[in-house]
Chains A and B, each alone.
Chain A
Amino acid sequence: MNGSSLAAVAPELLRLGVGLLALVGFIAANGMLLLYVERKVAGHVQRRPGPFEVGPHGLLQAFADAGKLVGKQLATPAGADGLLFWAAPLMAFMPVPLMFIAIPFGENLFGLQTNLGLVLILSFAGFNVLALCLAGWGSNNKWSLLGAARAVSQAVAYEIPLLLSVLAVALMCGSLDLRQLAGSQGGWPWQWNVAVQPLAFFIYFVCAVAETNRAPFDLAEAESELTAGVHTEYSGMGNGIFFLAEYANMIVVGCVATALFLGGSQGPFAPGPWWFLAKMYLLVTLVIFMRWTYPRVRFDQLLNLNWRWLMPLALVNLLATALAVKLAG
């Protein structure tokens, strides 16, 4: 490697390193924030205050809980496969910062510009399934095993329409680079992709909720059926990391939705990262509200919804988009 190419690569590497570190901080802060928001939303929806005792309006509750989780004993259940059991939470969390790296928070605020940003995110998102699968199998618990079986078939099924709906947008813009995709949209809501691709956005949103195992699609956890599904045997930070990963995944899907469908960092006045964050948090709040509103779907209904509705609709949408792109261009 000669000097000139090193000089060209070094700033990129530096950017990557700093970006990754900043993103880990961002994820951790967001985990705390979303934990707090989720509890407050749950509280107020249920006409109660939610966390209130630790700090003003319970603001420090998330920190107290994090401290509690860290302090707890990490118990490995008897007969469990220790390696797989503890590899699972790590595997759930490790790919998450990598997913964030391609997300364009602002015009110039991103970790890595790559023309395969979308592919990068979707491929790393697949790791989550593996983590749940390992957790279910490694726990040596029947409920966990059932949860893992559910998680795998759910995630595998929902990845397809998710991909197809995202593909429609990519096809429209002719790029897989999130920054370009976001930048190709205008500032006003009718210039966003969601106005052109409402069906794709809807499909993406449903699939995203399912992919992140959030209610009403939280079948892998399903506390009233499977006690806690794959999380049953995890104590302390083992459980905490799963939660952190869950919230981080929620943010990722919110970010991707914002970049792809809601104009990214573009906004009517003063475009910038704040618009991006505002839109992303709005979506995440909607997901949180959904959790506290709906009953859980049944396993076969979940798959039926996917194979009988989302998949054909996404295919039709993709075909129509392709046709429109071809005819228009």
Chain B
Amino acid sequence: MAILTAPVQALAAVWSMVVGLRVTITNFFKPQETIHYPRQEVPPSHLDSFRGHIELVGTDEDPAKARCIGCGLCAELCPSFCLKVVAEDLPADPTVSYESHNGADQLMPRPKFKAPPPSQAQPRKLLSYHLVYHTCSLCGLCVQNCPAGSLRFSHDVYLAGASRGRFEFDLMERLRGQAAHGGPKGGKAHA
């Protein structure tokens, strides 16, 4: 029987090759799917959902002033310890310091302060807000849990740099710069 079926199978095999060739040839004549990057760019509407590094959200009155109440919950929740929030109590209480950001607490995170529930959160004066973007994994815990709605993701897809310093951000500085340039206003905290 094999002598009869084998040629039929062989012809079917050859035909399957022709079918495959037809697929690639039809695709050859279809338009391209890719974008010639430096000359063309992805339309900005497609980048809305892109999560860049986090940024501070300004208040409605003063876009240069962050909504942040300095509770430090974001820094506490960050799995990669890439946030450093320095704030002081109102009235000023110099005893609270967030400077002890060393290797020891990376091994065994000890909550250095308890975040009060948002309703009772005592606003503190935000002194500085630093982000070390190298280690950030964009999990969104800080944005999700910010009691003041002061964090959101930026949308800079083209962020690139040649030095490590390029990815260490002073977010307050950045917010002031954005406000000066009429950048994104306060408003939606979480895209």
Contacts and interface: CB of A to CB of B under 8 A. Distances in A.
Interface of A: 41, 44-49, 52, 289-290, 292-294, 309
Given A41-B28, A290-B21, A47 B10 contact: no
Interface in B15-38: 17, 20-21, 23-25, 27-34, 36
Instruction: Sort A-B residue pairs by CB-CB distance and give the 4 closest, nearest first.
Output: A47-B33, A48-B34, A293-B24, A45-B24
Nearest to B39: A52
8 contacts: A44-B29, A45-B28, A47-B27, A48-B32, A52-B36, A289-B21, A292-B24, A294-B20
A49 B33 CA distance: 9
Interface string B158-179: 0000000000000000000000
A44 B32 contact: yes
Contacts of A292: 24
Interface string B66-80: 000000000000000
A49 B29 CA distance: 12
B98 to A, nearest CB: 49
* Majority DSSP secondary structure for residues of A touching B: loop
A292 to B, nearest CB: 6
A49 B36 CA distance: 8
A48 to B, nearest CB: 4
Interface of B: 10, 17, 20-21, 23-25, 27-34, 36
A293 B36 contact: no
Given A45-B25, A47-B34, A289-B24, 15 more contacts: A44-B28, A44-B32, A45-B24, A45-B28, A47-B31, A47-B33, A48-B32, A49-B32, A49-B34, A49-B36, A292-B24, A293-B24, A294-B17, A294-B20, A309-B10
Interface centre among B23, B25, B28 (most CB of A within 10 A): B28
A294 B22 CA distance: 12
Contacts of B36: 49, 52
A214 to B, nearest CB: 14
Nearest to A47: B33
A133 B136 CA distance: 52
Nearest to B33: A47
Contacts of B17: 294
B34 A293 contact: no
B33 A48 contact: yes
B27 to A, nearest CB: 6
Nearest to B31: A47
Contacts of A49: 32, 34, 36
Contacts of B10: 309
A309 B10 CA distance: 9
A293 B24 CA distance: 6
A49 B39 CA distance: 13
Contacts of A293: 20-21, 23-24
Contacts of B27: 44-47
B90 to A, nearest CB: 57
B20 A47 contact: no
A47 B21 contact: no
A36 to B, nearest CB: 15
A60 B20 CA distance: 31
Contacts of A47: 27, 30-34
Nearest to B34: A48
Contacts of B23: 293
A52 B29 CA distance: 17
B63 to A, nearest CB: 41
A232 B147 CA distance: 58
B25 A289 contact: yes
B161 to A, nearest CB: 23
Contacts of A46: 27
Nearest to A48: B34
A294 B20 CA distance: 7
A45 B104 CA distance: 55
Contacts of A41: 28
Nearest to B27: A45
B105 to A, nearest CB: 46
Nearest to B14: A202
Contacts of B34: 47-49
A255 B159 CA distance: 52
A306 to B, nearest CB: 13
Contacts of B20: 293-294
A5 B23 CA distance: 60
A301 to B, nearest CB: 11
A37 to B, nearest CB: 12
A162 B86 CA distance: 79
A289 B36 CA distance: 24
A293 B28 CA distance: 11
A47 B32 CA distance: 4
B24 to A, nearest CB: 4
